[in-house]
Amino acid sequence: MENQNLLEKFQRYVDAENKIEAKDWMPDGYRKTLIRQMAQHAHSEVVGMLPEGNWISRAPSLRRKAILISKVQDEAGHGLYLYSACETLGVDRSTLIDELLCGKAKYSSIFNYPTLSWADIGAIGWLVDGAAIVNQVSLQRTSYGPYSRAMVRICKEESFHQRQGYEIMIALAKNGNAAQKKMAQEAFNRWWWPALMMFGPSDANSPNSAQNMAWKIKRHSNDELRQKFVDMTVPQAEYVGLTIPDKDLKWNEETGHYAFGEIDWTEFNEVVKGNGPCNKQRLQTRNAAHEKGTWVREAAMAYAQKQSERQKVSAA
Ligand code: FAQ
């Protein structure tokens, strides 16, 4: 039984908008849910490199290739910040990575969809990074200090990613020829609904939300953030001449928001359970990359050990 006084003190501290730091006392549930969310987030960044990495060798120009390589590297960096933030809570990075590799850990459903054309790369930058930013701008104010600070850095890079994706879509959908416009619309049709699913189940079906909002880990609910994303993205789609693949999408004068159709939650649940179009392929690729990277990790560890021995000798 956790001490009631400590719990109350913790809640007052969070309510006063203070940040919790690694060495502060925290309820077990707070630590557990943070590790869960941050690890899922870290895994998403790492698995998220795969659908885009798939197009590095086929990018349509040197400029596009250089930008894409750099974006994919950024995602690896985001994974690193987040695994490091998890480690501040006493969990070992290799344990988390093992959980990803054996299929036990979750990562964002969005990365289990295939990238079938170059326009998918535009759609990912614009919609997937766009949705990620809406969520992560809110997480900059999360109550756990190391997570909040990681989010500040990540958001800066994500907003650049979002713009490069939208720029690809402008080139294809607004300024492109008929075939490019068609390719852009098809990619948009493929990514629109999965992007809305990134925000998680509806508020009524989100088991973690109530406690996480009370602890200020989450600052806005899944549905609030999803609505924000829709309101922001519809005018951007209209500007480039893309049609939203939703017959129920309509501006609602009264609410001041776009109303949109029902998300296919069966599809969402299947993808989260491992039955999406690319789940198996993603885990296989990730496992193969991990195995191939063994010598790099070993060499890095050997180098770090040598350095620390040298430092000890020169300090003696
Ligand atoms: N996919 O009770 P809630 C990116 C799970 S980063 C899979 O609502 P919560 C950058 C959820 O984990 C994208 N699983 O849960 C990039 C929970 O499972 P559990 C990732 C999902 O935590 C761009 C269960 O359902 N971003 O894209 C999903 O309060 C381009 C019940 O749900 C983050 O992770 C889903 N979409 O809210 C990289 C942001 N949604 O553990 C490369 C941080 C929900 O109870 C290329 N995370 N689940 O069994 C969050 O903000 C939250 O964790 C939510 C879910 C909002 C995702």
Q: Is 222 in the pocket of ligand 1 (CB under 6 A)?
A: yes
Q: What is the DSSP letter of 140?
A: T
pTM, to two decimals: 0.96
Distance 106 CA to ligand 1 centre (A): 8
Distance between first and last Cα of the chain: 48
The Å distance, Cα 313 to ligand 1 centre, comes to 47
Would you give per-residue pLDDT tens digits along the chain (316 residues)?
A: 568 999 999 999 999 999 999 999 999 999 999 999 999 999 999 999 999 999 999 999 999 999 999 999 999 999 999 999 999 999 999 999 999 999 999 999 999 999 999 999 999 999 999 999 999 999 999 999 999 999 999 999 999 999 999 999 999 999 999 999 999 999 999 999 999 999 999 999 999 999 999 999 999 999 999 999 999 999 999 999 999 999 999 999 999 999 999 999 999 999 999 999 999 999 999 999 999 999 999 999 999 999 999 999 998 8
Whether ligand 1 lies within 6 angstroms of the CB of 106 is answered as yes
Tell me the angle at which helices 62-87 and 93-101 cross, rounded to the nearest 10 degrees.
120
- Name residue, tokens 């480039």: 240
Selection from 131, 150, 129 nearest residue 86 by Cα: 150
